[in-house]
Amino acid sequence: MQKKNLFLILSIVSLQLFAQTATCDGILPFEEKNGLLTIEMESGILPANSDWKLGNESDPNLSGSTIDYIYWDGTQSFSSLSGAAITYNIKINNPGTYRFAWRGRIGTGDSGGEHNDAWLKIEADDFYATSSNSPTASPALEPKPNCNSNPDRDCPEGSSTNGYFKAFMNRHPVNSTPDRKWGFVTNTNDGNSYRFIWATFNTAGNYSIIVDARSSFFFMDKMVLRRSNLLDSNAHNLNNPESTCYDASLSTKDLKKKETKIYPNPTAGKIEIKNIPLNSNLIITNMFGALVRKIKSDNTSIMIDISDLTNGVYFISNDDKTNHFVKKIIKI
């Protein structure tokens, strides 16, 4: 009898947790699971009327795959923030200290020291950098101005402002072989690079990662937070899927609804959308939230031709408050 009750309780808990997984829309938090969080950079909401751009190219490290990335195509902001920050909300389930790294490459020029960085801030209980692969290594750096009032931390050499690190890579855009141009390299501190950036989350809960533009044409593919007990080789595996998002407002009754599905996705032309509410008013928007197209559907499935759209990431949603959905579309 006790085993049956235990099984019932575990089943209910599992059902509730599953029901709270939702489609990522740029606002819901990406959920860390088992000490790992993976976010595609293009999944954030790019500020409207900013100089953030989307790009894509074949992945030299993953045969048959395409890299979708973001980059800044505006005035470079070397000593101050650009004012076009992208905020990625996250949910940490397992408290602890996590290493941060993003995958990027230098997108222009012939120098390993230019077009290679962005501003980075993680709103956590602690945010710092070390020169060796240990969260307890000393000395440690803290962004300006916080480092000025912390006797246990040094300030980084070079640029740092408003709690942001200048986070850079240095793989040469010309001399590196194609398979080495992209990489999980995220350093800070001019001169003697501190190669490990850490964030400590003392309690489970919601936090955020904020990225602002510094250099132009620094291509950013994805970012990863991995708990200090995990290996980089596992966390940076390019076959790892993007983390799902968490919606606390969902309940187990949502499991009874059929999930809205899109196929094929990515697509170069037509997509089929299934299990949509009857008489739906569908809306397609781009990464900046601008309206691209409105479609009326009288059935629970529809075929849409988006071959005329520019390659990139789009979102399709409906205006039904009861059966609302948001899905990401990748046009290639």
227-259 residue pLDDT tens: 999 999 999 999 999 999 988 766 444 444 567
pLDDT tops 60 at residue 99 = yes
Q: Which tokens belong to 123? A: 């709103």
Q: Are residues 49 and 108 in the same domain?
A: yes
pLDDT tops 60 at residue 121 = yes
pLDDT tops 80 at residue 129 = yes
The domain tally of the chain equals: 2
Q: Which tokens belong to 101? A: 């790294």
Q: Are residues 26 and 168 in the same domain?
A: yes
Q: Are residues 195 and 160 in the same domain?
A: yes
- pTM (predicted TM-score): 0.73
Query: What pLDDT band is residue 189 in, cutting at 50, 70 and 90?
Result: very high
Q: Is residue 102 part of a domain?
A: yes
Residues 90 and 207: their CA atoms lie apart, in Å, by 5
In this structure, the dihedral spanned by the alpha carbons of residues 202, 203, 205 and 207, taken in order and rounded to 10 degrees, is -10
Q: Are residues 242 and 268 in the same domain?
A: no
Residues 3 and 48: their CA atoms lie apart, in Å, by 55
Q: Are residues 260 and 239 in the same domain?
A: no
Q: Are residues 105 and 41 in the same domain?
A: yes
In this predicted structure, what is the pLDDT of residue 288?
Answer: 78
pLDDT tops 90 at residue 93 = yes
In this predicted structure, what is the pLDDT of residue 258?
Answer: 63
Residues 165 and 158: their CA atoms lie apart, in Å, by 10
Express each pLDDT in 7-27 by its tens digit. 333 333 443 444 466 778 888
Choose between 259 and 124: higher pLDDT.
Answer: 124
Q: Are residues 29 and 74 in the same domain?
A: yes
Q: Are residues 93 and 187 in the same domain?
A: yes
* Residue whose tokens read 């000395």: 139
Q: Is residue 81 part of a domain?
A: yes
Please give the DSSP secondary-structure letter assigned to residue 153: -
Q: Is residue 4 part of a domain?
A: no
Average pLDDT estimate for 57-61: 97
Q: Are residues 126 and 161 in the same domain?
A: yes
Express each pLDDT in 277-294 by its tens digit. 878 889 998 877 788 999
In this predicted structure, what is the pLDDT of residue 57?
Answer: 97
Q: Is residue 185 part of a domain?
A: yes
In this predicted structure, what is the pLDDT of residue 148?
Answer: 95
Q: Are residues 195 and 277 in the same domain?
A: no
Give the range of the structural domain holding residue 302, as residue numbers without chain letter.
Answer: 256-331
Last residue of a domain, one of 191, 214, 246: 246
Q: Are residues 222 and 280 in the same domain?
A: no
CATH number, domain at 159?
A: 2.60.120.260
